[in-house]
Amino acid sequence: MRGTRGTGPRATDRELFTQRVRGCSSQASDSNNMISIIIPILNEEKILGKTLNRLQPELADHELIIVDGGSTDASVCIARKYGKVVLTERGRAKQLNAGAAAASGDILLFLHADIWLEPGALTAVEAALANGYVGGAFRQKIDGKHFLYRFIETVGNFRAKRLRVFYGDGGIFLARTRFQQLGGFPEVPILEEMRFSKGLRRLGKTTLISPGIHISSRRWEEGGIVRTTLNNWLITLLYFLGVSPARLAKLYRHIR
């Protein structure tokens, strides 16, 4: 799962990213234009190989970091075939922060283990930051044919674009410097990525970009499309009403 408007990045930030993306100055030659893709995992052997294999054509000179939170299956062995593996304690925020600490890139992109990116997605990330956005997420599509998935996509993309609230399955990206400004992901039991996006939009303008991200329909198939969606929306609503993350986590475990 998953303010006030900022005034946008300073001009120097925009210029720096434009130089990096275009490679148009001597300063850019000393800069690291690498995107570090960070994926937290826990017992994802059934889907991880497919996910990481589909990412390969997009990687080029970018970096892939898989952060394991204590898997007891073959996830780590699979991950080591594709990228750098970081071992840490269980917990999505801890894993995301550990991946960021191990990253070499100036740009950080946080993905889930059950997604794939459309061609050109990483170039779109670079372009968004070069155009002055502090960060953002991808326009999402659910890999399933049921008509309700199209409705869920529409609502999710509206939330991300208009309300600037991002869930982790949308792929959150930003500059490393912005990540450091925010102090990383908050170590709360639930909705850490949504809370992180709240902090991000306080730093400036965020955006929803295409090419998009495709999300596995496995969660909806396992829990039921209507039940899973209503549960997610209920938790989100209660969060906005001020219910604490600890109470939300208990409720989420109960209604699942």
pTM of this structure: 0.85
How distant, in Å, are the alpha carbons of 2, 93, 108, 239, 247 from that of 38?
17, 12, 7, 26, 28
Q: What is the pLDDT along the chain (256 residues), one digit of tens a residue?
A: 433 334 344 444 444 443 433 343 333 333 468 999 999 999 999 999 999 999 999 999 999 999 999 999 999 999 999 999 999 999 999 999 999 999 999 999 999 999 999 999 999 999 999 999 999 999 999 999 999 999 999 999 999 999 899 999 999 999 999 999 999 999 998 899 999 999 999 999 999 999 999 999 999 999 999 999 999 899 989 988 989 888 888 887 755 5
**All domains in the chain, ordered by first residue:** 11-215 (3.90.550.10)
CB 55 within 8 Å of CB 37: yes
Instruction: Give CA–CA dist 44/85, Å, rounded.
Output: 14
